[in-house]
Amino acid sequence: MELLGTGVLRKMEVVLESPVHYRLRLNDDSSIDMNRLLGQPIALHYEGVINCLHCGRKTNKSFSQGYCYPCFTRLPQCDSCIVKPETCHFHEGTCRDPAWGERNCFAPHIVYLANSSGLKVGITRRTQIPTRWIDQGAIGALPILEVDNRLHSGLLERVFAAHVSDKTNWRAMLKGEVPELNLAAERDRLLAQCADGIETLKNEYGAEAIRTLPEQSVVEIDYPVLEYPKKVTTFNLDKSPDVAGTLLGIKGQYLILDTGVINIRKFGAYRVSLSA
């Protein structure tokens, strides 16, 4: 096999094409075109070193998909409110980095519906569309509401989550077991079901705080997959440093091999080498 690159693992770069184009960046100088490796044997080797994606220091364990413990406890992007945006505490003056919060949390956010393993609701910064959908393995997505900050998007997501899942069944997503859905019809149904909750938030934060997006159309997403697995077996670099097999597909942030699947994002900060 030919060595294609060595460096610190991080989530794959994506471009919305048909199919989605994936590149794996192991260092700052170059990236590896993963689509061209479809159908070929590949090997990923973990070299036993983890370097924090923020500060670069060696760490025995990766926290929050790529950070050392000090960065995990200090950085705003690792705070609990990132996972639960409805718990944003910026207004209490306790944000870990107010300047970061103003750039990332006080920016337009989108509430969307997606079909990744069935219908789900999600939120993301407007600038993260369509990357967020691709990273979740959605085959279709539809923006339905827009707000001006992360807190409001989290509060809306909680309203919708009473009627629809906010999680992806990653095993079903990887098997390609995704039902056909009319996302526009689901949008209309859920907006009607959630009307009281939306109105309550408008009364609290202002009528213009929540804006509907009726003009948006469904974004359909096709992935570079030659064959979906019938059974999903996962690789774990903490238990075995070697991943090898024929690359049959890429979906979400997963490499699908004939021998199993690996979540590239899960092992962010691990130093690896890739051969093909």
Average pLDDT, the chain: 96
Please state the rounded mean pLDDT for residues 239-246: 97
CA gyration radius, the chain: 20
The confidence score (pLDDT) of residue 23 equals: 98
Is the pLDDT reported for residue 29 higher than 90? Answer: no
Please state the rounded mean pLDDT for residues 16-43: 95
Question: How would you classify residue 25: left for phi > 0, otherwise alpha for psi between -120 and 50, otherwise beta?
Answer: beta
SS3 state at 257: strand
Rounded distance, CA 190 to CA 139, Å? 20
Question: What are 209's two structure tokens?
Answer: 């705080």
The kind and range of the H/E element at 31 are none
Is the pLDDT reported for residue 144 higher than 90? Answer: yes
For the question of whether the overall pTM of this predicted structure is more than 0.85, the answer is yes
CA-based nearest residue to 148, from 112, 204, 106 = 106
Q: Where are the domains of the chain?
A: 3-72+224-275, 80-220
- The proportion of the chain whose per-residue pLDDT surpasses 90, expressed as a percent, equals 98
Q: Are 213 and 141 in contact (CB under 8 A)?
A: no
The confidence score (pLDDT) of residue 162 equals: 96
What residues contact residue 146 under an 8 Å CB cut-off, 6+ apart?
108, 109, 110, 111, 126, 210, 211, 213
The confidence score (pLDDT) of residue 30 equals: 82
Please state the rounded mean pLDDT for residues 160-189: 96
Is the pLDDT reported for residue 28 higher than 90? Answer: no
- The DSSP code for 247 is E
Q: How confident is the model at residue 27 (pLDDT cuts 50, 70, 90)?
A: confident
Rounded distance, CA 43 to CA 121, Å? 35
Please state the rounded mean pLDDT for residues 195-205: 97
CB-facing half-sphere around the CA of 125: CA atoms within 13 A = 10
Is the pLDDT reported for residue 46 higher than 90? Answer: yes
Is the pLDDT reported for residue 152 higher than 90? Answer: yes
The confidence score (pLDDT) of residue 69 equals: 97
The confidence score (pLDDT) of residue 219 equals: 98
Is the pLDDT reported for residue 247 higher than 90? Answer: yes
